[in-house]
Chain A
Amino acid sequence: MTPITHRRTAWSLILLGATALGLSLSGAAQAADPIKIGVIAEAQSIAGASIPQAAQMAADEINAKGGVDGRQIQIVAYDNHSSSADSVRAFQRAVNEDKVHAVIASYISEVVLALMPWAARLKTPFITPGAASNEITRAIHENYDKNKYTFHGYLTSAALALSVCDAAKELLVEGKKMKSAVIMSEDAAWTKPLDIGYQECLPKIGLKVLDHIRFSPDTTDFTPIFNKIEAAKPDVIITGISHVGVQPTVQWKNQQVPIPMFGISSQATNSTFGKDTNNAADGVLYQGVSGPGVAVTPKSVPFAENFKKKFGNYPSYAGYTSYDDVYMFADAIKRAGSTDADKMVAAMEKTDWEGTIGRIQFYGKEDKFTHGLKYGKGLLTGLMLQWQDGRQIAVWPKEVAKSALKFPSFIKFSAN
């Protein structure tokens, strides 16, 4: 055969294959259209990278069991480069071109707040697996008819502050007889309500707030901040950090700041945090909704282990919630019997789902935190974990605690 006929044969084979593929695809589509869920996340950050991975895992599991009423779940992932503008474009593309039925997006409050109006305009159910700002639920509460398409799939900053205070009361005030604290938070949308929450609840549990430091998330040298904190002589530093994490932690250790850090430190929830900080993280206490080896519900540990088997590392906190979110959407679609947006929203509001982070219900239209996760015993309380010898260990609440508090030698307890 001459090369030309070779090429012809090849082309006709490809055409034949494509036609066959097209036929089989359209045949399947006629049987049942897939349910499409758009996932918009920060693929380059550790917290964000787990979001599409976990969503895909949930979809694969649901599909392996036959899907939702015979319909397969299809995840369409978009990288938003941590940018609100990119996220909005991805949202528009997801709804208008890729025809998704629901969207899971981002762990950054600023991004979520930028997407909310688009969820309203394009009438598409939308949930965030990791943002925290109270502004999200407040906007839903104040303009329910417009913003009801948005759900807040992670604890609000107010709830996070409560969770930190609940843990601090038992671990620090009762356990270590601590009396005073300095709040150290990065300047971002999510920490404003967090700090208000801290300032309210810390004095109530017996920790006097000596100083309150808000710093720019661009800060690279934390020496002046630690200096100022040390000068106030608090028993503990209560943190509210997410955009930063590695740098303050490493400098805390290198400078041997003798005061423990306790609070929200989102980067510390990543299983790679120990390596990223060369184990400077040892002793850091952080609030979480999950952690490797912590059986918050029977689903938590199997999910984390399967995730690790598949992707090589444990999921970030937003990975757990993103996994739950896919199941909750699937559950809502099943109960609604439809992918109609308004019917889905109505069904989502009735969610009562045992996920990997606890029992998930949403606050209603009349509650202050509309479409936020209900906080409380028997639902979600969060955990307190500590980095110990390069591992994340649950230390609160008692039911899941695996170890007592353990600090590096440079930490001095003035109260003891």
Chain B
Amino acid sequence: MLALQILIDGFAISALYALGATGFTLIFGVSGVLNLSHGAIMVAAAVAAWAAASVFQLDSYSGALVGVAVAALLSLATYFTVVQPIQRSNKIPNEEKEIFVLTATLLWGIMIQEAIAYFFTNNAKTVLPIIEGVVNIVGVRTPKNELFTAAVCCLVIGLLWVLVNRTRTGKVVLAASMNPRGVTILGFELTNVYIVVWAIYGVLAGIAGVLLGMFLGVSSYSVGPLTASAFSIVVLGGLGSVSGSLIAAFVVGYLETFTAYMISPAYRSIPALLLLVIVMYIRPQGLLGRR
């Protein structure tokens, strides 16, 4: 029964990690940007969904939508106010732009975090679950919303796959991640591709944030750990590789859940971090890395 419990719990958390990390790795794959404001955008989505429901009295669906919309807007704001000006700057040498973007998104994330703490306090908030109640799965009492979370994550990741592989926009995005110059030669404006990718990223991060807010709850303190976990999942899976991130998300999710149940919740994140160090030693490009 404990094994089943770990299986169910681990799946939900892994699916959530996968969703969060997919957008993160997509942006890196297409535009080479490591967005360290990731955790802040997720938390902002959850807090916005909470505020919409409990301050403005919206129902849980509308609240969740508000959360996702806020994340999408914040994501575009990140691109236009933080990332694009650095990429276009003549004053910053090209080889230093990556590190500038890294620092700028980190600071941007801290600004969002502090703003959340200022306006909504640093106490944790939880998003109203869309489905209440529990089901009994062979003796394991599981909240229905946990199953819902896992289902939505899988569905959204599936939709993303269809979008990238089966639609024209998706194919351009895919092409841009392989050869940006080629895409420009074919007559596509690279900036437009980036805007599409940041919008997709915002929606993914928003959904992940809102679901996390329902499943476990978030506070402004969650910003750092969320960015760190997305970052380590993406590095483990191979920077820029979406399928690598998916596998890594499940490895990390299950490793954490297993540790929490079998050893102690206090050591939850340690084995995953050790694994990351080991992978860095023997396979620096990550599990499915391209470089």
Q: Is the CB of B126 within 8 A of A255?
A: no
A277 to B50, CA, bound (A): 9
Q: Kindly report which residue of chain A lies nearest to residue B125, judged by CB atoms.
A: A276
Q: Mark A274-289, 1 if CB is under 8 A from B, else 0.
A: 0111101000000000
Interface residue tally on A, bucketed by range = 20 to 34
Binary A-proximity of B95-137 (CB < 8 A = 1, otherwise 0): 0000000000000000000000110011111111100011000
A-B contact count (CB 8 A): 91
A206-255 interface (Cβ within 8 A of B): 215-216, 218-225, 227, 244-247, 250-251, 254-255
Instruction: Return the contact of B134 from the options A219, A227, A256, A277 (Cβ within 8 A).
Output: A256
**Smallest Cβ-Cβ distance to A187: which chain B residue:** B266
Which chain A residue has the least Cβ–Cβ distance from B123? A46
Chain A residue with minimal CB distance to B218?
A220
The distance in angstroms between the C-alpha atoms of A44 and B145, with both chains bound, is 30
B266 and A219 form a contact (CB under 8 A): yes
Say which residue of B13, B124, B143, B216 sits within 8 Å of A276 (CB atoms). Answer: B124
Closest-by-CB residue of B relative to A244 is B124
Task: Using CB atoms, name the residue of chain A closest to B133.
Answer: A256
Which residue on chain A has the smallest CB distance to residue B55? A275
In Å, the complex CA distance between A111 and B55 comes to 32
* Interface flag for A49 (CB, 8 Å): yes
Contact B121 A46 (CB under 8 A): yes
B148 to chain A, nearest CB (A): 11
Whether B93 is near chain A, meaning CB under 8 Å from some CB there, is no
Residues of B within 8 Å of A251, CB to CB, are 216-217
Cα-based distance from A244 to B218 in the complex (angstroms): 11
B: contact size bracket: 35 or more
With most chain A CB atoms within 10 A of its CB, the pick from B2, B50, B121, B145 is: B121
Contact with B along A61-93 (1 / 0, CB 8 A): 000000000000000000000100000000000
Q: A224-B261, A254-B145 are in contact. Are A246 and B5 (CB under 8 A)?
A: no
Partner of A44, one of B9, B122, B266: B122
Q: CB-defined interface of B25-56 with A at 8 Å, one 1/0 digit per residue? A: 00000000000000000000000001001110
A246 contacts B123, C-beta separation under 8 Å: yes
Q: Does B273 contact A (CB under 8 A)?
A: no
Residues of B within 8 A of A187 (CB): 266
* Residue among A244, A267, A278 making CB contact with B126, cutoff 8 Å: A278
Tell me the smallest distance from the CB of A388 to a CB of chain B, in Å.
Answer: 18
Q: With a CB–CB cut-off of 8 A, which chain A residues contact B222?
A: 220
**CA A82 – CA B217 in complex, angstroms?**
20
CB nearest to A218 among chain B residues:
B225
Shortest B282–chain A CB gap in Å is: 29
A214 to chain B, nearest CB (A): 8
What is the distance, in angstroms, from B47's C-beta to the closest C-beta of chain A? 11
Q: A residues engaging B (CB < 8 A)?
A: 44-46, 49, 82, 187, 215-216, 218-225, 227, 244-247, 250-251, 254-256, 267, 270, 272, 275-278, 280
Show 23 residue pairs from A and B whose CB-CB distance is below 8 angstroms, ordered by the A residue: A44-B118, A44-B121, A46-B123, A216-B266, A219-B265, A219-B266, A223-B9, A223-B260, A227-B261, A246-B123, A247-B126, A247-B216, A251-B217, A272-B123, A275-B55, A276-B50, A276-B54, A276-B124, A276-B126, A277-B126, A278-B126, A278-B127, A280-B126
